[in-house]
Amino acid sequence: MCGIMGYVGFRDTTKVILEGLAKHEYRGYDSAGIAVIRDGRIEDLRTVGRVAQLAEKAERSGFRGDIGIGHTRWATHGGVTENNAHPHISSDGRVVLVHNGIIENARDIRAELEACGVKFHTETDTESAVQYLGHVYDGDPKEAIVKLTKRVRGAFALVIIFHDKPNEIWVARKGSPLVVGHAENEGFCASDPTALLEFTHDVWFMDDDEMALIKREGCEFFDFNGDRHEKPTMHLDWDAAMTNRGAYPHFMLKEIHEQPEVVAHTLLGRVAEGEVDLSRELGWTAEDAAKWKKIHFIACGTSHYATIVAQHIMETFGSFEIRTEVASEYRYRNIPAGEDTLAVFVSQSGETADTLHAARLAKSRGARCLVITNVRGSTIHREVGEALITPAGPEIGVAATKTFTAQITILTLLGMYLSKLRGELDAETEKRLVSAMMDIPGKLASILSQEKDIAATARNFADARGFFFIGRGLAYPPALEGALKLKEISYLHAEAYPAGEMKHGPIALLDKELPVVALVPKGELWEKTVSNIEESMARKSPIIAVATEGDEEIGHYTENIIFTPETETELFPFIAVVPLQLFAYYIARQRGCDIDMPRNLAKSVTVE
Ligand code: F6R
């Protein structure tokens, strides 16, 4: 949460920082600010609101400088005010910094400094860091930062400039993401590597307890004792064009439309001739797979729902004891894990603090750990090591869409591969599922071609009080994801239930203002779900059905039907989720919501 950017070089510093911040807005967007050094003085500009407002303010005032840092905020400590917006400057005007994370002992540091006569001006935890630096700085930035890192507790990515070092950006990291880049005669740092793609593809991902000096001439890396070390670069294989919206009005819509390609890309090199093969990425043996009795899937939000899809699919052909756990709970529960456990962490960003902490715990308990992430080189990737990367490309819309389909694709392959290693997946099932998965991109494209009809259906329900999403078996996990998408971007209350659970309580809420989205694919649970549709109709709830093409009977129950192509029962979540994403998108659009940056949300949640 919060996005930070720093630049030293020959370009227009303000422009580089503001454009970089705009790429970070998904991480926080309640206020923004920039600071530069001009004529040996630190100057800053801040505003409540979006980076675009900051850019207007900078344009009006002709804000310029030679070296700069910027920040887009997602408030944790201190309200959303211009005064609390970053960058923060020490009272003596010698140091300026931006911060992502939380300084847990900020109160103690503040009390200590106030006792020495230092004046504080904001309600933020960050100010304790900059005032501390101002207090101890005697011309040696490295020494001052080493002292700071020993004094503060908590999580931080800090980007710092000292008034008398106009060619130096200093950064330090513990627990919050930070990436450093260098090109000829210019240096950069950012929270998100996509902000650097325009300038360089070779970057250094900062590790915990590491600091760096960024200059036009190059970068140097140090530990928190100030000792220098060498650090290899990592090459980013993303393309800068992937971070543009193109002709789409929102990133979310663009990303929904990318899904056929993303699924095809995810399958590439992992399936061939009716077989799944992950051996190029996973050095697992049949003995490993036989040893693992338990699989713990650990993730948050949409990624957690992807693991529930995996659990349901794997249960149809394997004998693992599978748990799907929300990372923020997993870490505080005493769930036995050891050598008989494969712990699979799923995180689009690879930076989610809860998932990262859960991974450390599982590792310490002796579980074998694997991560599924969309960001090569992300913190969780580096810490866990063993990984399957989803090749979805950068996802900018705050609501996850294409990364969910990439995750369920790779999780399905993983489930099949593991069961195959254990001798539990028969060749016929493998062939049937692989062939059906190869057909998914075409089927998603056919759903996307119904966009206009789905949009029309969605618009009719934009004034509903809230929604229930119901499904049974493999129709339940996509119901969870459909409800989450709607909540996130339209601010309407939406809840998903296994359809049979409605009568145990939630049914009390049903009336004509609470529509029910029923996921009712053709198959053995069709009749049971239809009974639940009838129960809802008896309470006057309007019904929106997501049904299988050719299912004429469903027309007896509702005229609001989204037809989806037939697929194997196990793969229904792939087919169901795309119309639900479009449904949420068009409701949010009708309601005039800020779709790519929904209120209160940040894409990468790096605080607990
Ligand atoms: C929902 C959404 C969030 C994330 C969650 C985990 O649209 O994006 O629920 O899925 O914050 O994030 P990652 O996958 O980055 O760990």
pLDDT at 241 over 80: no
In tens, the pLDDT along 324-358 reads: 999 999 989 989 899 999 999 999 999 999 999 99
Query: 312 with 477: CB under 8 angstroms?
Result: yes
pLDDT band at residue 236 under the 50/70/90 scheme: confident
pLDDT at 607 over 80: no
Cα–ligand 1 centroid distance for 212 (angstroms):
29
Which of 176, 303, 344, 481 is the pocket-test mutation for ligand 1 (most atoms within 8 Å of CB)? 303
In tens, the pLDDT along 375-403 reads: 998 999 999 999 999 999 999 998 999 99
In tens, the pLDDT along 177-198 reads: 899 999 999 999 999 998 999 9
Q: Whose CA is nearest to atom 9 of ligand 1?
A: 301
Provide CB contacts within 8 A for 209, sequence distance 6+: 149, 173, 174, 223, 224
Amino acid 514: pLDDT: 96
Task: Report the range of poorest mean pLDDT among 27-41, 200-214, 458-472.
Answer: 27-41
Q: Is 605 in the pocket of ligand 1 (CB under 6 A)?
A: yes
Cα–ligand 1 centroid distance for 349 (angstroms):
8
Give start and end residues of each alpha helix (H) in 43-96. Answer: 51-61
Read off the tokens for 189.
């740092």
In tens, the pLDDT along 275-290 reads: 999 999 999 999 999 9
Read off the tokens for 500.
């049979």
Beta bridge partners of 214: 169, 219
Cα–ligand 1 centroid distance for 337 (angstroms):
24
Active site residue 300: no
Write the single-letter amino acid at 221.
F
Helix (H) or strand (E) holding 109: helix 106-115
Given the structure tokens 């931080």, which residue do they identify?
Answer: 156
Q: What is the mean pLDDT of the chain?
A: 94
First-residue to last-residue Cα distance in the chain? 11
Ligand 1 atom nearest the C-alpha of 301 is 9
Mean pLDDT of 211-235: 96
Beta bridge partners of 187: 8, 182
Q: Is 300 in the pocket of ligand 1 (CB under 6 A)?
A: yes
Query: 37 with 65: CB under 8 angstroms?
Result: yes
CA torsion sign, 578 to 581 to 585 to 586? positive
Amino acid 106: pLDDT: 96
Q: CA neighbours within 13 Å on the CB side: how many for 166?
A: 12
In tens, the pLDDT along 70-103 reads: 999 887 777 888 888 999 999 999 999 999 998 9
Q: Is 347 in the pocket of ligand 1 (CB under 6 A)?
A: yes
In tens, the pLDDT along 305-316 reads: 999 999 999 999
Residues 359, 363, 369, 373: what is their CA dihedral angle, to the nearest 10 degrees?
20
Q: Is 302 in the pocket of ligand 1 (CB under 6 A)?
A: yes
Q: Is 380 in the pocket of ligand 1 (CB under 6 A)?
A: no
What is the value of pTM for the model shown? 0.86
**Distances in whole angstroms, Cα of residue 150 to Cα of each of 84, 160, 459, 607:** 25, 16, 55, 20
Mean pLDDT of 409-422: 97
Which of 192, 300, 388, 593 is the pocket-test mutation for ligand 1 (most atoms within 8 Å of CB)? 300
Amino acid 240: pLDDT: 79
Mean pLDDT of 111-129: 94
Q: Is 6 in the pocket of ligand 1 (CB under 6 A)?
A: no
Q: CA neighbours within 13 Å on the CB side: how many for 202?
A: 8
Amino acid 239: pLDDT: 81
Ligand 1 atom nearest the C-alpha of 603 is 8
pLDDT at 172 over 80: yes
Phi, psi of 238 (to 5 degrees): -85, 160
Amino acid 601: pLDDT: 78
Cα distance between residue 463 and residue 287, in whole Å: 56
Cα–ligand 1 centroid distance for 234 (angstroms):
24
- Residue closest to 272 by CA, chosen among 421, 413, 440: 413
pLDDT at 115 over 90: yes
Position with higher pLDDT, 77 vs 17: 17
Cα distance between residue 372 and residue 362, in whole Å: 15
Mean pLDDT of 2-7: 94
pLDDT at 26 over 80: no
DSSP helix/strand/coil, 6? strand
Active site residue 2: yes
Mean pLDDT of 584-599: 94
Which of 194, 256, 305, 349 is the pocket-test mutation for ligand 1 (most atoms within 8 Å of CB)? 349
Cα–ligand 1 centroid distance for 577 (angstroms):
16
Give Cα 420 to chain centroid, integer Å: 31
pLDDT at 365 over 90: yes
Cα–ligand 1 centroid distance for 400 (angstroms):
7
Task: Report the range of poorest mean pLDDT among 70-79, 291-300, 314-323.
Answer: 70-79
- Residue closest to 206 by CA, chosen among 225, 224, 184, 186: 224
Q: Which is catalytic among the residues 2, 189, 369, 593?
A: 2
Q: Is 495 in the pocket of ligand 1 (CB under 6 A)?
A: no
Read off the tokens for 45.
């500009």
Mean pLDDT of 518-526: 96
pLDDT band at residue 300 under the 50/70/90 scheme: very high
Query: 477 with 515: CB under 8 angstroms?
Result: no
